[in-house]
Structure 1
C-alpha cells in the first residue's frame, strides 16, 4: 500500500509512455514470454511486436497514417491486439465497434468516426458491404480470419509486408490519440470518446508508487472478460501489456468455457462484471478446486452484492477489487481495494477510493465543492481523461470543466475519502456493463403504429444490475402487447437495449415545459432502496 517514502519515489525515466514503446520494450525484455493466448493460439511478446509492425506497414501501404480511423468489428482475438498496437505505431486511431449492434447503429459509428479501413468478421461482411455506399471515406473492408480459414483474410492482407520496427515509438507522444470508443450521451446517439496513449498508464504509475490494489505478478495469466469495445476491457488489456503479463482473450464470455480455461491455463487474474461472477458460480463444475489458481479478480460495471461476495469468497477464495470510472475518465478512477471486501463492512457499499494521481470531488449545482457526507455530483480529475468527444467540442466542454470530468452520478465522500454512489443524475441505464440511453429506444418505440408516446428507464435486476423498462402510451383505438413491441424492436436495436418489461399508461407525466419526468417514473421502480443505482 502507500506510504510517504513510496509517494516520493520518482518514476524511472526509462518507463515507456506510449503503447508503441511498450510493445518494443516487452519484445526486447521478454521476447519468448506469451503476450496473448486465444483459443489455443499463443502470441509471444516478440511475435506481437513483429506482427503489429507488419500490420502497421500494411496500414501505411493502404494509405493510412496519423489520424486515420481504423475500425474493428468482431469478437476478441489476438488479431485485435495486433491491430490495436499497429494503430499505436502508425498514429492511426483504433475504433472498436460493438459487434452486437444493429446495422444502423454500426453505420452511425463508422460514419461519425470517418472510418477509412474496417476489419470485420466474415459473418458481418454482409452488413459491411451494405454500408459501403453510405460511407464515402471507407477505403477497404478486410475480413478477419477464422479458425477454419486462417490466412485467407487479414493474414493474407498483411502478408508480404516487412516486420521491421516502424520507428514510431519516438514519433508519437503520450498526448497523441490512439483509440476512439463510443459511449451513449445526452442526445441518445453514441459519441466517440478520443483517448490518448497516456490513458493506459495510470495503473502502472500507481504501482510505481506502491499501490497494489490492482497489480500484476510474474507469471500472471489474465482473463480479459470485458470486450475491447469497452474502456474496461481495452484498458485492462493494455495495462497488462505494460506490466508484461500474459493476457487471455476469449471471443465472448461463456461461463462454462471460461471455467474450463481457468483450470487448463491456470488463470490467476481477471477482469469481469458481477454478472459474470454469478454465472461462473452457477456452473456445475464451480468449486474451490476449480478456482485454486486464481489470485485476484477485478470487477466493474456495477457493485457486488453482499450475498454474491460471500459466495465468491467461499468458492473462489481469492482477492477482489472493484473499479469505478468511465470512458471519459480514460481508465480506472477509483478502486475498492481487496482489504475492504469484507461481508458486513460498511465500506462494501462504496465505489472505492481515488487512485494515486487522481482526485475526486462532490459539487453542488453551482460547481461548489461540498464537504464530506454531503450528496452532490461526482467529478473526477485524472491525467488519463479523454482528449474530448470526436467533433463535438460543445459536448466536451459540458462534460469536462477545468480538467474535471462530470460523471453523471450523485454521490458523497466519507471522512476517509471513500466514494459512495447514491443515484444517477443523467438517464443512462447500465445493463451488465453496457451503457443504454433511453432516447434511442423511445424513438424506436414510437415508430410502432400503435404507440403514441414512450418513456424508458432502468429497473433493478439482480443479475445484470439494471434492466430496461418501458412505459408506453397507446394511440386511441390501437392495441399492442409487450411481445409485439419487443418483436418490432428486433433488428432495430441491439438485444441488450430492448426493454424486457412494459407498463401501459394513459399519459406520461410531464413538467410545465412538456418534458417527460423520467425521474418520477424511475423512482416508482426503485422504492424502498437506499441507493438508486445497482
Structure 2
C-alpha cells in the first residue's frame, strides 16, 4: 500500500464488501478497523470474525438472498455481521432500534427475515411483537455459542457489483415502510468516481480515524462506515449519539473525519465549555441528512475550523449523489444555501409535473441518475416503477439548478417531515391517530424547530361531542410509534382545508408555520 503526496490512499481496492476485510487483513492486519467503547477489532480480527459468522450463517441453512436482520445499537458486532452477510450472499436488514414492537414486526415480516440478531436490551420489543418473530432469534453478547467452532477462513462466495447486500427500510407515504434493496455497487460507485477524477471533495487518507455520528440503520451511517472500511481507515462507532461524548472522543482519540447530521453539530456547539481546541485533530466534517441553516453552518465552520462537505441523496440513491465541496463553504457566499453539485458520473435534472425537463432556475422535482441507485423496493414493483424510471430516481424533492449545475433544495413535493435527519411521514402518524376512538380525522405537517430542524404538528378533528386531550393522544401513540415520530403539539379544529375534489390542502396548513420563507425546509 502506498499513499499519494496528498496523503490519499493509493492502492488497488476491493469492489465488493465481500472482499473488503480480506484485502486489508492481508495488507495491514494490525491496523484498528473498528473501535466501540473500550473494544477494538483490527482488520485481521474483523476479517476472521466475519468469516466465522459467515460460516455460522451457512451452517444454519441460510443461502444467498436470505434476509438477516439486526436489532441493536451500534457496535462492532453490527459490522461483523454486515461483512458476514456480504461473504454469504445473504442480505442484511438493519432495524431502527427506536421503533416499537409493531413497527419492528412489520419490517421482519415484510422482509421475510429468516434470522434475527438482537441485543438483550431489545428482547421486550421482540417479545411484544404482534406476529411471531423469525424462525431463529440469536442473542448478541457473551457467550455466543452459535458461532463457536466455525472456521475463520473464507467462504468462497463471489459477489458481483449487482449482488444485493443490504435492505434498509424507509417510512412510506402510505404509512408502511418500504425496503430499499442496495447492491454492493452502492457502496463503491461514488468513491470510485471521486478517485477517477482526482477530486478530494470527500477523501480518505492513511491514518484517518473516522467517527460515525449517524446510526447504521440509516443509509448515511452505513455508507460512511463502508467507505472508511473500504479505504482501510479506523472507524469509531457510537452506541448512541451524545454530544459531550462525541466531543471527548474527537479530542482523546484524535478523530480526523466525521459524518453527522446538522442537529448533531448544533448539540455539540451547545455543550458547555466547548471550544475550537476540542476539534484540533479534525480535518474534514461531512454532513447531510437534512438541510442546514446558514447560521449553524457558519458557526460550525468557525468552531470546528476544518473542511466541510455537504452531501445530499436518498436511501434510494445509495446515499450521496450531490456534494457541496469544501471550497464552496465560504461564509456569506452564494453557494452556502446550495445542496451541492452532482459527482462525476451522476446526472441531475429538474422536471415539471408532466415530466418535461426544466431550465436552470425553474423549480420542479429533482431527479438523480447515479450508478449507486437502489435495485428495487422489496416486493413492491409498482412503487419501484414510480420512483425508478429509466435509471432516474424521482426524489420527491422540489428544487432547481443554477447555470453551473449546483442543486438548490426549495421544498419537498412529498410530505415528509424531517426530524433530526429522520424522515417522518404524515400518513403513518395520521393512520395511528385516527385509530383513537375520539379522533375523526388527523392531518400532520412539519413545523420549523430550532434544534431538530422540524417538529411534528398534528391537526386533530375530534369526534362530535368528544374532546380528547393532548395527553390522551400522546399516551395512545407512545406504544404505536417511535418517539421521534410523536407529535410535539396537537391543534384541535372542526375541519381541515380541502380543494374542490376533496384533497386535503396540506401545504396551506404548513404555510401557517413557514410563512414567507423562501426555503420551506429547515
Fold conserved between structures, TM > 0.5: yes
Q: Which residue of 2 aligns with 1:199?
A: 186
Q: Distance in 1 between matches of 2:26 and 2:319?
A: 27
Q: Deviations 1:81-101 (Å, cap 9, x if unpaired)?
A: 000000000000000000000
Q: Distance in 1 between matches of 2:279 and 2:173?
A: 42
Q: Which residue of 1 aligns with 2:231?
A: 243
Q: Distance in 1 between matches of 2:247 and 2:155?
A: 39
Q: Distance in 1 between matches of 2:284 and 2:22?
A: 28
> Is 1:525 aligned to residue 521 of structure 2?
no
> Is 1:340 aligned to residue 328 of structure 2?
yes
CA contact (8 A) 2:181 2:376 kept: yes
Deviation of 1:14 (Å)? 4.8
> Is 1:229 aligned to residue 227 of structure 2?
no
Structure 1 residues 482 and 132: alpha-carbon distance in aligned structure 2, compared to 1, 3 A threshold? closer
Q: Which residue of 2 aligns with 1:306?
A: 294
Q: Equivalent residues in 2 for 1:12-161 (5 A)?
A: 14-131=12-129, 134-135=132-133, 138-145=134-141, 151-152=142-143, 155-161=144-150
Q: Give the total of aligned pairs.
A: 512
Question: SS at the partner of 1:54?
Answer: helix
Q: Distance in 2 between matches of 1:29 and 1:443?
A: 53
Structure 1 residues 133 and 309: alpha-carbon distance in aligned structure 2, compared to 1, 3 A threshold? closer
Q: Distance in 2 between matches of 1:130 and 1:462?
A: 35
Q: Distance in 1 between matches of 2:301 and 2:443?
A: 40
- Alignment partner of 2:153 out of 164, 172, 175: 164
Q: Which residue of 1 aligns with 2:7?
A: none
Structure 1 residues 229 and 473: alpha-carbon distance in aligned structure 2, compared to 1, 3 A threshold? same
Q: Deviations 1:334-364 (Å, cap 9, x if unpaired)?
A: 0111111121112110110001111111111
Q: Which residue of 2 aligns with 1:330?
A: 318
Q: Distance in 1 between matches of 2:30 and 2:519?
A: 49
CA contact (8 A) 2:13 2:23 kept: no
Q: Which residue of 1 aligns with 2:177?
A: 190
Question: SS at the partner of 1:211?
Answer: coil
Q: Which residue of 2 aligns with 1:295?
A: 283
Q: Deviations 1:182-226 (Å, cap 9, x if unpaired)?
A: 002231210000000000012321123211111111111111100
Q: Deviations 1:289-312 (Å, cap 9, x if unpaired)?
A: 111111111111122222212221
Q: Which residue of 1 aligns with 2:423?
A: 435
CA contact (8 A) 1:399 1:406 kept: yes
Q: Which residue of 2 aligns with 1:397?
A: 385
Question: SS at the partner of 1:348?
Answer: coil
CA contact (8 A) 1:324 1:351 kept: yes
Q: Which residue of 2 aligns with 1:488?
A: 476
Q: Which residue of 1 aligns with 2:3?
A: none
Q: Distance in 2 between matches of 1:341 and 1:365?
A: 33
CA contact (8 A) 1:128 1:141 kept: no
Question: SS at the partner of 2:176?
Answer: coil
CA contact (8 A) 1:101 1:494 kept: yes
Is the deviation greater in 250-259 or in 278-287? 278-287
CA contact (8 A) 2:214 2:221 kept: yes
Deviation of 1:321 (Å)? 0.9
Question: SS at the partner of 1:134?
Answer: coil
- Normalised to the residue count of structure 1, the TM-score between the two structures is 0.94
Question: SS at the partner of 2:356?
Answer: coil
Deviation of 1:130 (Å)? 4.1
Q: Deviations 1:3-48 (Å, cap 9, x if unpaired)?
A: xxxxxxxxx9954211011221111111111110000111111111
- Normalised to the residue count of structure 2, the TM-score between the two structures is 0.96
Deviation of 1:503 (Å)? 1.5
